[in-house]
Amino acid sequence: MKKIIILMLAVALALVFAVTGCQTAADTAEEEVAEEAEAWKIGFNNYADSHEFCAKVSAGIREEAEKAGVELEYAEATMDGAKMVANTQTFIDKGCDLIIDFNWVPEVGATMLKMCQDAGVELISMDTVYEGTYYFGANSYTAGQVLGEYLAGVITEEWDGQIDAFVGLYYLAGGDIVMDRVKGCEDYLKEAEGITFPEDDMNFLFDAGSSDQTINCKQKATDFLTAHPDLKHVVFVTHNDESGAGVFAGVEASAREADCLIGSTGGDTPFHDHIRAGGGDVWVASSAFAPEKYGEQVIPMAIDILEGKDVPMMVYLDHFVITKDNLDEYYPE
């Protein structure tokens, strides 16, 4: 009888240990999964909170980082190259595994990349190319080409394909990647069938400035139209919607709406507001960059890099043109 009792106790204890062991293993596995999900720390260096485009990008990145379970360190560069570098060092000191840098001053890119390489930290640059590291964001030249394709149709229909002057306005300090938004459009119009593009002496590029671009571009458009009162087919192309709003204000102030067409890149709130206020016949189109979608693409890209997956060095957004006819389709009120 004692042997039976002892045997029964042994079996019971074995079952207890087996169940406990399974629970412990399951708990350990869950903890390991949780630790893996929380392992990555990503630094996000944002150009300026006050810039609407940047604010939308930031909101999307925060949302997607939370969904993905990664820890996000945030800093604002306030449009200052020195602050961008300082923020990079702070992220490194805090143990970030990867830094997403959303800044438009390419001159500091080499410095930040060297800092990251020395610290063993991955770097993704957004909308500004830093040679030697990952890039995510707009394909500026393609955005310009997409805009040019749409403008070519409008110019053919309304002006029988005639362009008397092409005026591009872009942020000069942003370098070639910003200028490409204008150049992509220019190159498309030069090659488009049925378009008569002006000679070089009527092909202009102006600096929109680093701040107050709406004001600057209004003045530049006003000055240009005042200097050329007889032109009837003037195409303005700007690197963003703030500049587009400025050009439109200059065209309107000069009472030259019948002589001008405006295209911009960005596809953001200034253009949306313009359309919903009854516009869209002079400032006719904007090639969209969709800042609200950056986070849902760049956070998975960052995780893939950190997990050692094969990630292309250049990952681009899809660009599309917004007009008065399709605004509600993409951005319903």
The C-alpha atoms of residue 35 and residue 19 are separated, in whole angstroms, by: 24
List 101's β-bridge partners, or say none.
45, 125
In a domain, 183, yes or no: yes
278 & 312 share domain: no
Number of compact structural domains in the chain: 2
Angle between helices 213-227 and 241-253 (to 10 degrees): 40
DSSP type of residue 312: -
- Residues 280, 304, single domain; the answer is no
Q: What is the pLDDT of residue 18?
A: 43
List of long-range contacts for 249-255, beta carbons under 8 Å, 24+ apart: 249/214, 249/218, 249/221, 250/217, 250/218, 250/219, 250/220, 250/221, 250/222, 250/225, 251/221, 251/225, 251/282, 252/282, 253/218, 253/222, 254/221, 254/222, 254/225, 254/226
**What pLDDT sits at residue 126?**
94
Q: Are 256 and 227 in contact (CB under 8 A)?
A: no
Q: Does residue 16 belong to any structural domain of this protein?
A: no
All residues at 6 or more sequence positions from 6 whose CB lies less than 8 Å from its CB, including other chains: none
User: What is the domain-level CATH number for residue 73?
Assistant: 3.40.50.2300
pLDDT at residue 32 in the model: 44
Q: What is the pLDDT of residue 43?
A: 98
pTM of the predicted structure, to 2 decimals: 0.75
Helix (H, G, I), strand (E, B) or coil at 262: strand
| Helix spans in 174-322 (H) | 176-191, 213-227, 241-253, 269-276, 294-306
**Host domain of residue 54:** 40-137+293-316
Place of tokens 């240990």: 17
Would 302 be classed as within a structural domain?
yes
The predicted pLDDT at position 21 comes to 46
In a domain, 157, yes or no: yes
pLDDT 10s digits, 76-126:
998 899 999 999 999 999 999 999 999 878 889 999 999 999 999 999 999
Both 259 and 202 in one domain: the answer is: yes
Same domain, 170 and 132: no
One domain for residues 167 and 85: no
Query: Is 151 in the same domain as 257?
Result: yes
Task: Based on the fold, state whether residues 229 and 96 are members of the same structural domain.
Answer: no
Q: How far is CA 320 from CA 26, 113, 147, 167, 179, in A?
A: 48, 31, 8, 22, 18
78 and 165 part of one domain: no
- Reported as type and span, the H/E element at residue 165 is strand 165-170
Could you tell me if residue 182 is inside a domain? yes
Q: Is residue 33 part of a domain?
A: no
Shared-domain flag, residues 253 and 147: yes
Query: Would you say 262 and 221 are in contact if contact means Cβ atoms under 8 Å apart?
Result: no
Assess contact for 74 and 141: CB atoms under 8 A: no
Look at residue 79 and tell me if it is in a domain: yes
Looking at the structure, tell me whether residues 127 and 180 fall in a common domain.
no
Q: Are residues 274 and 145 in the same domain?
A: yes
Do residues 241 and 169 share a domain? Answer: yes
98-102: strand order across its sheet:
71-76, 41-46, 98-102, 122-126, 134-137, 314-316
Instruction: Give the count of beta carbons closer than 10 Å to the beta carbon of residue 213.
Output: 23
In a domain, 20, yes or no: no
Low-confidence ranges of the chain (pLDDT < 70): 1-38
Please compute, for residue 105, the number of CA atoms within 13 A of its CA located in the half-sphere on the CB side: 19
